[in-house]
């Protein structure tokens, strides 16, 4: 169950600030990846006892939900792109966002994003696709999202992938093509977006 389906009401005057919890979660994830995010580490960041967090969240899964949506909402390029960009530019902005917050694609793989910022992104994608006359706007939005998420997860490894030699006895065609191919994650992404939208 997503945080957005069971948000806890504020019951105390001096309750833990959920925005502060969300931003602390983003910082921890940016600095240390998925393993850095715990209720204890967030509590330490916001200066409360770990038990105090339970007044606002149920588990670390809620922290992932909050961090995912807050990182997107706090990204000014994404906010502007969701309001005004065409679909290719929006997808490139999303790619840049996900490569900045490398954990975000992993979290999306674990937890369907249902926060307000991600719903605004999904809505904008569907509206643009519907306006373009796409026969299956939602299916195409899923395809585009999966392309961008996959590209963002593998982009940081592209330079390493190019340096690793391929055994020509094991995979002769792949080794020959690999030796001469220029790998650019952004170009591959652009080609994929164009293919999906054509």
Distance in angstroms (rounded) separating the CA atoms of residues 129 and 44? 44
Judged against a pLDDT cut of 60, whether residue 23 lies above it is answered with yes
Distance in angstroms (rounded) separating the CA atoms of residues 190 and 43? 41
Which SS3 state, helix, strand or coil, does residue 101 take?
coil
Give the Cα-Cα-Cα angle 180, 184, 185 (nearest 5 degrees).
135
Instruction: Report the pLDDT averaged over residues 72-91.
Output: 98
- Stronger pLDDT, 1 or 133, i.e. the higher one: 133
In this prediction, residue 159 has a pLDDT band, given cuts at 50, 70 and 90, of confident
pTM: 0.91
Q: Where are the domains of the chain?
A: 1-74, 75-198
Going from the C-alpha of 165 to that of each of 106, 155, 156, 180, the distances in angstroms are 27, 18, 18, 12
- pLDDT recorded at residue 198: 87
- pLDDT recorded at residue 151: 94
- pLDDT recorded at residue 11: 62
- pLDDT recorded at residue 55: 87
Judged against a pLDDT cut of 80, whether residue 161 lies above it is answered with no
- Asked if the domains at 1-74 and 75-198 fall in one CATH topology, the answer is no
In this prediction, residue 12 has a pLDDT band, given cuts at 50, 70 and 90, of low
As a CATH number, domain 75-198 is 1.10.357.10
Second-level CATH architecture of 1-74: Orthogonal Bundle (1.10)
Q: Which single residue is written with the structure tokens 């995979």?
A: 171
């Amino acid at each position: 169950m997503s945080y957005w389906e069971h948000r806890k009401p504020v019951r105390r005057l001096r309750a833990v600030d959920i925005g502060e919890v969300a931003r602390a979660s983003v910082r921890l994830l940016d600095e240390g990846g998925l393993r850095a995010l715990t209720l204890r580490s967030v509590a330490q960041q916001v200066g409360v006892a770990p038990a105090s967090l339970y007044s606002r969240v149920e588990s670390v899964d809620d922290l992932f939900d909050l961090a995912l949506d807050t990182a997107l909402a706090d990204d000014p390029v994404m906010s502007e792109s969701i309001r005004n960009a065409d679909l290719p530019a929006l997808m490139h902005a999303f790619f840049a966002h996900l490569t900045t917050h490398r954990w975000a694609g992993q979290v999306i793989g674990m937890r369907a994003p249902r926060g307000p910022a991600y719903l605004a992104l999904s809505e904008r994608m569907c509206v643009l696709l519907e306006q373009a006359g796409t026969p299956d706007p939602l299916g195409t939005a899923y395809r585009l999202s999966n392309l961008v998420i996959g590209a963002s997860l593998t982009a940081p490894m592209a330079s390493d992938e190019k340096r690793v030699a391929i055994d020509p006895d094991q995979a002769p065609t792949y080794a020959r093509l690999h030796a001469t191919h220029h790998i650019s994650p952004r170009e591959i992404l652009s080609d994929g977006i164009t293919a999906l939208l054509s």
